[in-house]
Amino acid sequence: MSDHPDIRVVPADATRYPTLLQLQVHEPQRDFVGPVAVSLADAAQCGGSQAMAILCDDEPIGFYRIERQPRSIADRDFERATLGLRSFFIDARWQGRGLGTLALVAVMHDLKQRHPDACDVVLTVNVRNTPALALYRRAGFQETGGLYHGGRSGPQHVMLGALPT
């Protein structure tokens, strides 16, 4: 990997599925991020959901989903036009290199291009997932106050980040 990796995001089409299905997180993180296979199947069933691949120099290193209906993320409405981010992760083999931060920058710029009317992105992060919480804070996301209690692994912070202008 170069000193300046080319991090970009692309829709997760069927040609990428075999590689994406190999991505996973470290064992302790599995409480917070489900398997890619489950997320891909769910995205296919949800009309407002789009599965996305995170690439480093054209190699898939991560995954996430975009939800056009933010209520599906936080079970509430938002004043400004908001998109939802779910299932964001970097593969265990690629973690610890600062790629999560670079990937979030790429995600936010991509979302602004694909959804020019959107202003914000909402996500939830488990209160016990301190590395992810720190990552999202570094990327400019802020807690909205209160907790979301619909997650499979306990309470989650609801975080909101502004898309670039």
Predicted local confidence at residue 83, as pLDDT: 98
> Using alpha carbons only, what angle is made at residue 49 by residues 29 and 143, rounded to the nearest 5 degrees?
55
| Phi, then psi, of 61 in degrees rounded to 5 | -125, -5
For residue 2, what pLDDT is reported? 59
Nearest residue to 105 via CA among 61, 49, 161, 24: 161
CA–CA gap between residue 125 and residue 119 (Å, rounded) = 20
| Domain annotation for the chain: domains and CATH numbers | 7-116 (3.40.630.30)
User: 52 near 64, Cβ under 8 Å?
Assistant: yes
**Whole-angstrom distance, CA of residue 93 vs CA of residue 26:** 9
- Residue ranges of the chain with per-residue pLDDT less than 50: none
What is the Cβ-side half-sphere exposure of residue 160, based on CA atoms within 13 angstroms?
A: 19
pTM, rounded to two decimals: 0.92
pLDDT at site 1:
56
